[in-house]
Amino acid sequence: MVDVLDNKRTATRFRILVQIAERQPAVSQGEIAEEVGVTSQAVSEYIRELVDDGLVEKEGRSRYRVTNEGVDWLFRTADDVRRFADHITGDILGAMSEAAYIATDDIEEGDTVTLSVKNGLLHASPGSKGPATGVATTDAEAGTDVGVTSFEGVMDLEPGSVTVLQIPAVRTGGSRAADSELVAEQCADADLVVAAGVEAVVACRQDGAEPTVTLAAGEVAAEGAKRGLDVTAVATTNEVGRVTDTLRDADVSYEVLEG
């Protein structure tokens, strides 16, 4: 965070110096106080500090002028604020105002599209039949990515579920002690299978289910459930707590089964 935005005192100092630069040389501390939202006494103290720091020089009673050093500090600070604002408007808000979807059919720029989530991914279909719509910002062939903006409505999305399947640690039998039928059933029924721990990965593979991910299982499971997927998280006993803690922190419901 830019210091002038992160630190209230620095922000007030910046605003008062701007006011002095705008009003110099005749400076009314009362007017500055009203503009900045602090007391006249506080303005007086800030100006005294600015003078001591060489950013402002006093020319007489109620007469002040910003020094060259003060002008340089204003430029540097304003430039930091500008870059931060550019980051917000360009990177953050820009990303929020346009998003990429998978086109289910050929789409032309300017078409109204219906938005949906399928298999955890955003899709756009020609027409406006669904509860959530947008406007295509690019041409796209079926199966390719298309830009969408001007969103309206809310997409129908039922949260998925997470089943955490606990596998014994190697010292208590590991994958060999796992309930292979239960592992196979839970993995076959899931839209997404993740695994945490070597014993869990081996248990999945022994029952013909290759985990989609074997790292950050809790985070992936939580994200998948939020996107409407039913997830099976196979976890070794000493990894179960990490997975369930992550799900709980993400406010995702889950059940734990002994595998």
List the single range of 92-106, 136-150, 185-199, 215-229 with lowest mean pLDDT: 92-106
Tell me: pLDDT of 94 over 60.
no
The neighbouring-strand residues paired with 256 are: 164
Average pLDDT of the residues in 85-100: 68
Report the share of the chain in percent with pLDDT over 70. Answer: 94
Q: How confident is the model at residue 92 (pLDDT cuts 50, 70, 90)?
A: low
More reliable by pLDDT, 151 or 168: 168
Look-up of token digits 């990490």:
242
Average pLDDT of the residues in 224-234: 93
Average pLDDT of the residues in 126-155: 91
Tell me the two tokens of residue 117. Answer: 């989530």
- What ranges in the chain are assigned the alpha helix state H? 3-6, 8-23, 29-36, 40-52, 68-86, 93-97, 180-189, 198-206, 217-226, 237-249
Q: How far is residue 163 from each of residues 155, 234, 248, measured CA to CA in Å? A: 25, 8, 13
Q: How far is residue 135 from each of residues 105, 141, 144, 151, 184, measured CA to CA in Å? A: 14, 15, 16, 7, 43
Listed residue (155, 218, 206) closest to 180, CA to CA: 206
Tell me: pLDDT of 216 over 80.
yes
Distance of CA 135 to the CA centre of its chain: 24
Q: How far is residue 80 from each of residues 8, 12, 73, 75, measured CA to CA in Å? A: 16, 16, 11, 9
Q: Distance (Å, rounded) from C-alpha 2 to C-alpha 57?
A: 26
Q: How many helices and strands in the chain, by DSSP H and E?
A: 10, 11
What is the pLDDT, as a whole number, of residue 158?
Answer: 80
Report the share of the chain in percent with pLDDT over 90. Answer: 71
Contact by Cβ (8 Å): 231, 216: no
Return the exposure string of 116-148: e unless at least 16 CB atoms fall within 10 Å of the residue's CB, then b.
bbeebebbbbbeeeeebbbbbbbebeeeeebbb
Calculate the average pLDDT of the chain: 90
Q: How many CB atoms lie within 10 A of CB 258?
A: 11
Q: Give the angle subtended at the CA of 211 by the CAs of 121 and 253, to the nearest 5°.
A: 65
pLDDT tens for 236-254 read 999 999 999 999 999 899 9
Q: How confident is the model at residue 120 (pLDDT cuts 50, 70, 90)?
A: confident
What is the pLDDT, as a whole number, of residue 85?
Answer: 79
Q: Distance (Å, rounded) from C-alpha 186 to C-alpha 104?
A: 30
Tell me: pLDDT of 143 over 60.
yes
Tell me: pLDDT of 64 over 80.
yes
